[in-house]
């Protein structure tokens, strides 16, 4: 299965991002804590160049805590300011304001030395679809002003929003890269909901998810679907058949696939991280 998704509004957003970078002081790049590396758009490094950046590792409540710590360290070593957050929580707002000032402390000091009047920090908020940008925007602004949805492609335009006295935010649509050179990344994005389900073979994605949990979080898989240790040794398709039976869906494997994907996305199997730091960081460093 080859996964591709690059709607027209995403190409437009890429152009607009490039045009409007000059108006902002810093970029907030949201990534998904369940796939901190795979949910980064590699095209952004070229677009953003030397613009100060704060990487916000969102949906931390759904991810593996130990893996989050490792990825925070990874991004810090790359020279980025970084912070794990849960955009659903109010406490994230104060943390983000503090981190933004920290990332721009040198610029703020230069402006003060020049006698310039302090102004709000201008921020571009960016990230792939379904990473939680609109939820974060609403939390920062303090009211529902950005449209949200647990599906990709909700935000289609750009808008400036105010967050207290400290931040002015430029929202942008989520953009994926035009093609996935690594189909493994495509499967990860599909499993977490960054790609529209209508474009996928759900059984393939469910099998991928089951194989992953059987390898890295077997106890969670056993508990959720009442599996034996021998069941975990089954091939992916056979494991989907077994889980479908355990769910009482008989031979309705499409329904079984939908349930598995739903459970994974909603954290019903506990916190997990698809991008394993010990594996992916080494591969990324080789590029």
Mean of pLDDT values over 69-91:
94
The predicted structure's pLDDT at residue 151: 40
DSSP codes joined into one string, 141-203: HTSS-S---SSTT---S-EEEEETTTEEEEE------S--SSHHHHHHHHHHTSS-GGGS-HH
Which of the four pLDDT bands, split at 50, 70 and 90, describes residue 271? Answer: very high
CB neighbour list of residue 110: distance below 8 Å, 6 or more residues apart: none
Q: Which two tokens stand for residue 64?
A: 């593996």
Confidence check: pLDDT of 214 > 50? yes
Measure the CA–CA gap between 222 and 62, rounded to whole angstroms: 19
Helix, strand, coil distribution of the chain in percent, nearest 5: 50, 10, 40
Which of the four pLDDT bands, split at 50, 70 and 90, describes residue 22? Answer: confident
Q: Which ranges constitute the DSSP H helices of the chain? A: 8-20, 43-48, 65-77, 91-103, 105-113, 133-141, 183-192, 202-216, 218-225, 236-246, 253-265, 277-286
pLDDT, averaged across the chain: 86
Is the separation of the CB atoms in 158 and 20 below 8 Å? yes
The residues facing 30 across adjacent strands are 56
Measure the CA–CA gap between 55 and 173, rounded to whole angstroms: 17
| CA nearest neighbour of 27 among 202, 213, 171, 144 | 171
DSSP codes joined into one string, 19-32: HHGGG-SEEEEEEE
The residues facing 31 across adjacent strands are 57
Q: What is the pTM of this model?
A: 0.87
Q: If 0-12 CB within 10 Å is exposed, 13-18 middle and 19+ buried, where does residue 190 land?
A: buried
The predicted structure's pLDDT at residue 3: 53
Cα 96 → chain centroid: 17
What domains appear along the chain, each with residue ranges and CATH number? 8-171 (3.40.50.300), 201-286 (1.10.1580.10)
Q: How many residues does the chain have?
A: 287
Query: CA Rg, the chain, in Å?
Result: 20
Confidence check: pLDDT of 145 > 70? no
CB neighbour list of residue 159: distance below 8 Å, 6 or more residues apart: 145, 146, 170, 171
Q: What percent of the chain has pLDDT over 90?
A: 55
The predicted structure's pLDDT at residue 8: 56
């Amino acid at each position: 299965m080859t996964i591709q998704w690059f709607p027209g509004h995403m190409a437009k957003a890429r152009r607009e991002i490039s045009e409007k970078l000059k108006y902002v002081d810093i970029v907030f790049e949201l990534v998904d804590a369940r796939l901190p590396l795979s949910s980064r758009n590699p095209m952004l490094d070229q677009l953003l160049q030397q613009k100060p950046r704060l990487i916000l590792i969102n949906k931390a409540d759904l991810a593996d805590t130990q893996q989050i710590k490792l990825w925070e360290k990874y991004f810090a070593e790359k020279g980025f300011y970084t912070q794990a957050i849960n955009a659903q929580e109010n406490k994230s707002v104060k943390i983000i304001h503090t981190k933004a000032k920290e990332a721009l402390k040198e610029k703020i000091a230069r402006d003060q030395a020049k006698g310039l009047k302090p102004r709000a920090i201008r921020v571009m908020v960016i990230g792939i679809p379904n990473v939680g940008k609109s939820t974060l925007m609403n939390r920062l602004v303090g009211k529902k002003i950005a449209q949200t949805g647990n599906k990709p492609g909700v935000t289609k335009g750009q808008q400036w929003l105010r967050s207290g006295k400290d931040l002015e935010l430029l929202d942008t649509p989520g953009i994926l890269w035009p093609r996935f050179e690594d189909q493994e990344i495509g499967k990860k994005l599909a499993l977490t909901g960054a790609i529209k389900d209508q474009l996928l073979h759900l059984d393939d994605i469910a099998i991928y998810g089951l194989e992953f949990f059987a390898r890295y979080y077997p106890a969670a898989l056993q508990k959720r679907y009442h599996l034996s240790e021998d069941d975990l040794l089954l091939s992916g398709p056979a494991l989907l058949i077994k889980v479908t039976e355990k769910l009482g869906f008989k031979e309705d494997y499409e329904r079984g696939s939908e349930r598995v994907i739903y459970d994974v996305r909603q954290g019903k199997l506990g916190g997990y991280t698809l991008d394993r730091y010990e594996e992916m960081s080494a591969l990324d460093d080789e590029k």
